[in-house]
Structure 1
Amino acid sequence: MPTSSQPSRPSELSEPAQSFQQSVIDEFRANGGKVGGPFEGEDLLLLTTTGARSGAARTTPLGYVRHGDSLLVVGSNLGGPRHPGWYHNLLARPLVEVEIGARAFQALAVPAEGARREELFAHVVRAAPGYGEYQAGTDRLLPVVVLERAEPDDWEGPGEVRTLADKVMEVHTWLRGQLRQVRAETDAHFAARAAHRGAGEAPVPGLGLQIRQRCLAFCQALEFHHVSEDGHLFPGIARHHPGLADVFDRLAREHRTIARIQGELAELLAGVHIADPQRFRTELAAMSAELNAHLDHEEEALIPLLADVPWPPAGPPAAP
């Protein structure tokens, strides 16, 4: 039976349902992804989202179907009239954690739209016909969410990561790659609109959920990166290099400027559809200019200082 019907917010579940869901999660983690009972033999994963309102981590067992290198999950909610809570969470924060078998990885969650949604839902129903029954039982269009691996390790980076300098460069490469991809998709939209001739709307790539989710994921990762730098990396380096005070003051100012642009982008992405596409494009260009200049300066000033710091950091010594 498909398990994507489980809501992710405890307030949506009765106490017995919460207890049952937690028992499935515990059994999954204790047995490398294998569970018994009604889900024995099913393709099951754990999806951890961040609460759209609470900001708390929410883990949900879900059935999944493979599609190429991606995983598909469906917001069936047993064919009920409302989307499950985990779906609302990933619309707000598209970077999620997926556990499958004994592996865990970060993923970008992108709901499919239009013809692609129809194609993917048909693929899901061929593998798990129960979802077709859920769709037949509701007027709500069941969301089909594509989970794509989104970790920096999956992007072309500096090669093997052995030092903190390598790790910082890996993250910078991933951030630059995400931003380039969003800009390329946005530019394709406007180029197709400009080239359109004749009556009617231009048949152009939409500024839809693919761009929205990727841009939100980029903003989510960028915020985490800068908070980590301000809270840990920069103070640690500053203690050993007091002569770099002016550098850190400049980097802090740049973080504030980038955070302001990031907030303006987030405001435009608050709805399911991007508000004011032209302004979105302008803010995206401003983010690209500011961020790339900031990363260039940070790399020039700090990367040489991190080249001899091993990564990952050594753990505490073993107890005698």
Structure 2
Amino acid sequence: MSSFVSFNQRVIEEFRACGGKVGGPFEGAELLLLTTTGARSGTSHTVPLGFLREGGSPLVVASAGGADRDPDWYRNLLVRPLVRVETGSEEYEAVAVPAVGDRREELFARVVREEPGYGEYQERTARVIPVVVLQRTHEVDVAEGGIAGKLLAVHGWLRAELELIRRESAAYGGAASVGMQLRQHCLAFCHSLEFHHRSEDGGLFPYLEQQEPGLSEFFRRIEGEHRVIARLQEELVRALDAPGEDLSGRVQRMSRELEAHLDREEAQLLPVLRALGGSEG
């Protein structure tokens, strides 16, 4: 195992040093680097993977060389779907969505036509080898810099992802099973929202309160709203695996609470952040 990790690390270093090009057994192959977050550890893990393209999105295969166990990176993205993709020419965030049912069969057949070795891997194992589409997330253009610009960028990402989830959940209605795309985007949204609020409560708000003590009451109110939204988030995640749950209704309630919260936060904080300029404390 240690030799395999060392080999992967050498490939990763060469990939980054040479703009996505590597030699040895991968010479001439099209590779990407996929960074996932450990399902239990919460730490980042990067692996080099071959890929194909599907409608402009990279498509990767969790073959593990035909082993009977899914690779770690695949198990990670089932729990933490928001991943980082490096292609050599660019780096961006994506939501990892495994294909299911007929769609998986269609994509895997195409993979095998282009790379027959994957068919041999499937023959070695009773495990259905997953095929994963890496859907690039929204890129939010913000005209200003500093902390104000960073806040607007995060809020813009959350709003765009929530709009996608609203559309997906409305399409499913009260269906007993949740589509994989909806599930993965819900999890990516919830984990990002949790991280954003934790960063505000533990970093941004204490810093701003030192600069503007008159905002203390506002921050206590916002922290209370964070707790309410956290409960809605937990209910939403539980509903993903609970047949018969009104997922669309839970998404709509989250939308109302979060949109109002983001509007209040921006109305109060953006003037303060702009007055502070580019300073980050």
Q: TM-score, normalised by structure 1?
A: 0.81
Residue 250 (structure 1) aligned with residue 221 (structure 2): yes
User: How does 1:123-202 map onto structure 2 within 5 Å?
Assistant: 123-150=110-137, 152=138, 154-155=139-140, 157=141, 159-190=142-173
- Equivalent residue for 2:274? 307
Alignment match of 1:58 (pick from 45, 67, 72)? 45
Do residues 119 (structure 1) and 106 (structure 2) align? yes
Q: 1:94: Cα distance to partner?
A: 0.4
Q: State how far apart, in whole Å, the 2-side matches of 1:260 and 1:125 are.
A: 44
Number of residue pairs aligned between Structure 1 and Structure 2: 281
Summarize the Cα distance change of 1:115–1:309 in structure 2 as closer, same or farther, 3 Å threshold: farther
Partner of 1:96: 83
Work out whether residues 96 and 133 of structure 2, in 8 Å CA contact, stay in contact via their aligned partners in 1: yes
Q: Which amino acid aligns with 2:94?
A: A
Q: CA RMSD in A?
A: 2.2
1:1-320 aligned within 5 A:
14-150=1-137, 152=138, 154-155=139-140, 157=141, 159-190=142-173, 207-269=178-240, 274-310=241-277
Q: 1:138-186, CA deviations, whole angstroms, 9 ceiling, x for partnerless residues?
A: 2221111011112x5x24x5x4233432332222122112112112211
CA contact (8 A) 2:169 2:251 kept: no
Unaligned runs of 5+ in 1: 1-13, 194-203, 315-320
Separation of aligned partners in 2, 1:303 and 1:284: 27
In structure 2, how many angstroms separate the alpha carbons of the residues matched to 1:31 and 1:49? Answer: 22
2:134 alignment partner, SS class: strand
Unaligned runs of 5+ in 2: none
1:214 to partner: Cα distance = 0.1
1:96, 1:107 within 8 Å by CA — same for their partners in 2? yes
Between Structure 1 and Structure 2, the one with more helix by share is 2
CA distance in 1, matches of 2:123, 2:256: 48
The 3-state SS of whatever aligns with 1:307 is helix
Distance 1:250 1:266 in 2: 25
**TM superposition shift of 1:309:** 4.6
TM-score w.r.t. length of structure 2: 0.92
